[in-house]
Amino acid sequence: MRILFLGAPGAGKGTQCKKLASKYSLAHLSSGDILRDAVKNGTQAGLAAKEFMDKGMLVPDNVLIDLFREKLAQPACSKGFILDGFPRNLAQAESLDGLLSELKANLDKVIDLKTADDLLEERITGRRVCPNKACNAVYHIKFSKPKQDGVCDLCGTELSHRSDDKPELVKQRLSVYHELTSPLIEFYRGKQLLATVNGEGEQEQIFADILATLN
């Protein structure tokens, strides 16, 4: 199964993609996690990405395309994958078409996780993440609290607040989403791959709705 998720920052893509990846043993390729990892490791891609991420802007297309070309060709993706955060504009979507045809692979479904903007700001600013790369669990100070304040339930690591999850950058990221990423909804509707899922409500219900679109 090869699935792509669309949705604004804070729509819950990461949470749902992790559940889906684990249910079907799919590779979960999160562009944000891949980029943050590259920044942390000081790779060339990371050095190129950092200044854009710090401003809530899109990282240049060629950085993402090179990273995903490499990831998609890895054996971990051969049984299927979930794309989370890539593509994020039309040029990237067209490049992805090219990468997939090189691999003789098609997308099975594109899921648009739809959430009203006023909910997103609160979801993002209250988000806390586990910085342990092997875990990457996501919490929320109000909606999805860890059992012990500030500590990951799964691995015990101290939770952190992403530097771009601050209120001043959230508006910028949302406006980038509406301007550059949301046109992909029509792009994939045109390819008859699109399914829209309501991203508001209980995580379990949202997950059930996602599974229903895949069956």
* Min dist. Cβ of residue 10 to ligand ADP (A): 6
Tokens 């990371």 found at = 46
Judge whether 173 counts as a catalytic residue: yes
Catalytic residue among 2, 36, 128, 173: 173
Compute the Cα dihedral for 113, 108, 88, 39 and give only its sign: positive
* Min dist. Cβ of residue 215 to ligand ADP (A): 27
- Which of 40/79 has CB closer to ligand ADP? 40
Contact of 38 with 45, CB cutoff 8 Å: yes
Site of interaction with ligand ADP (CB under 6 A): 9-10, 31-32, 35, 52-53, 56-59, 64, 85-88, 92, 164, 173
- Which of 116/212 has CB closer to ligand ADP? 116
Q: How is residue 147 written in tokens?
A: 């059992």
- Which of 5/152 has CB closer to ligand ADP? 5
The contacts of residue 93 (CB under 8 Å, 6+ apart) are 87, 184, 187, 188
Judge whether 114 counts as a catalytic residue: no
The contacts of residue 115 (CB under 8 Å, 6+ apart) are 7, 8, 10, 11, 12, 123, 199, 200
* Min dist. Cβ of residue 136 to ligand ADP (A): 10
* Min dist. Cβ of residue 198 to ligand ADP (A): 18
Strands 138-140, 27-30: pairing is: unpaired
Active site residues: 13, 88, 127, 162, 173
